[in-house]
Structure 1
Amino acid sequence: MAEPIRLIVGLGNPGAQYDKTRHNAGFWFVEELARRYSGQFLTEKRFSGEACRIQIGSESVWLLKPMTFMNRSGLATRQFADFYRIPVQQILVAHDELDLPVGDLRLKLAGGHGGHNGLRDLHAHLGADYWRLRLGIAHPGDRNKVVDYVLSPPTRDEEIAIRLAVDKAADQIALVLAGDLQKAMNELHRK
């Protein structure tokens, strides 16, 4: 058993123009958890983000959406974790992942940032030993097209696949909060 997760950070960009973009898949995940468990995000200026606390069974967990733009996500996460004394091993970061097909998802502990600017900033502020929920958005095929690709909305079929992955991950959240991350991985990685 791993340590239970006490903070789930969804990565994305603030502002209506980014709401429906692939890069905001992490926001979609924490927003789904808030919806399911009656959480209400409130602006927390001291944490450079929006946060809420939800109760799932006997466990409670903080949800955080950094409002610092993707490439400064580590600042908000560090501020929040420091204030509530949450160790890095008890943080789960949900983010879009170019290296997975659309709709695939993977749960893993630690690793590199893979060129993801949000993860790069998190590494700078926290190190690499946090959990990641990687939500597949696929790669556009040309690295010169990546920025435009992640900052544009997915097709209707892609959005459905990403939302289904978000739902699948949300269905396993009780295992994650209990620290049974291996069982959650087995469920999430099953086709």
Structure 2
Amino acid sequence: MIVGLSNPKNKYHHTRHNVGSWYIYSLAKRFDKSLREEKKFLGFTTSINVHSNNVKLFIPNVFMNINGSAIYKIAVFYNINLNEILIAHDDLDLESGIVKLKYSYGHSGHNGLRSVINNFNIKTDFYRFRIGIGRPKNKTEIPSFVLSEPIIQEINLINMSIQNAIEQTYALLTSNL
């Protein structure tokens, strides 16, 4: 399963904190798929087929700090372990335009990742795409920064990094299947 961390779509879709969902929408588009709301999973889903393997795409439609409950719900339903999930999320420690694939345990202070780890209640490594959004100069501005829309130059850089992540996703899926 591939998940893009997010806050509720209607209010927060265009914010920096939702770049994980931007990645999922772009990935679905690359495979000519549309996401549909699945109320029982508290989010939006579709499936893509890579080398005859079905891969679920999921975007929680709940607040970031409880994304883990929605992800856990769909993972249990489809019998998917945490180490079989790729999670895309915004990252303050990377500049806009930078994306890094990481395989490890930990949340690095990200509330969405913290929620995932707490809900699965197991210490295991998992894949994640860290999509850079940059960091405000003043630490007290972080909440308003992540919940605001990036400027056009940042959007262009973020979209380039998402396209890079999609290429890396395809390579990861084809090499590990």
TM-score, normalised via structure 1 length: 0.86
Which residue, out of 114, 119, 122, partners 2:113? 119
Alignment of 1:27-176 (within 5 A): 27-126=21-120, 127=122, 128-176=124-172
Q: How many residues align?
A: 175
Give every structure 1 segment of 4 or more consecutive aligned residues whose post-TM-superposition deviation is greater than 4 Å. none
CA deviation after TM superposition for structure 1 residue 137, in Å:
0.5
Q: Which amino acid aligns with 2:76?
A: D
CA deviation after TM superposition for structure 1 residue 178, in Å:
2.9
Q: Which amino acid aligns with 2:43?
A: G
Q: Which consecutive residues of structure 1, in runs of 5 or more, have no partner in the other structure?
A: 1-6, 182-191
What CA distance in whole angstroms lies between the structure 2 residues aligned with 1:179 and 1:108? 16
Q: Which amino acid aligns with 2:169?
A: I
TM-score, normalised via structure 2 length: 0.93
Q: Which amino acid aligns with 1:44?
A: E
Question: Which residue matches 1:3?
Answer: none
What CA distance in whole angstroms lies between the structure 1 residues aligned with 2:133 and 2:160? 12
State the Cα RMSD in Å: 1.6
What CA distance in whole angstroms lies between the structure 1 residues aligned with 2:170 and 2:86? 13
What CA distance in whole angstroms lies between the structure 1 residues aligned with 2:64 and 2:26? 19
What CA distance in whole angstroms lies between the structure 1 residues aligned with 2:143 and 2:113? 15
CA deviation after TM superposition for structure 1 residue 129, in Å:
2.2
Q: Which consecutive residues of structure 2, in runs of 5 or more, have no partner in the other structure?
A: none
What CA distance in whole angstroms lies between the structure 2 residues aligned with 1:8 and 1:28? 13
What CA distance in whole angstroms lies between the structure 2 residues aligned with 1:25 and 1:179? 25
Question: Which residue matches 1:178?
Answer: 174
- Is structure 2 residue 16 aligned with structure 1 residue 22? yes
CA deviation after TM superposition for structure 1 residue 50, in Å:
0.9
CA deviation after TM superposition for structure 1 residue 57, in Å:
4.0
Question: Which residue matches 1:4?
Answer: none
- Segment drifting more, 56-65 vs 87-96: 56-65
What's the CA shift string for 1:71-116, capped at 9, x where partnerless?
1110011011111111111100000000111111111112321211
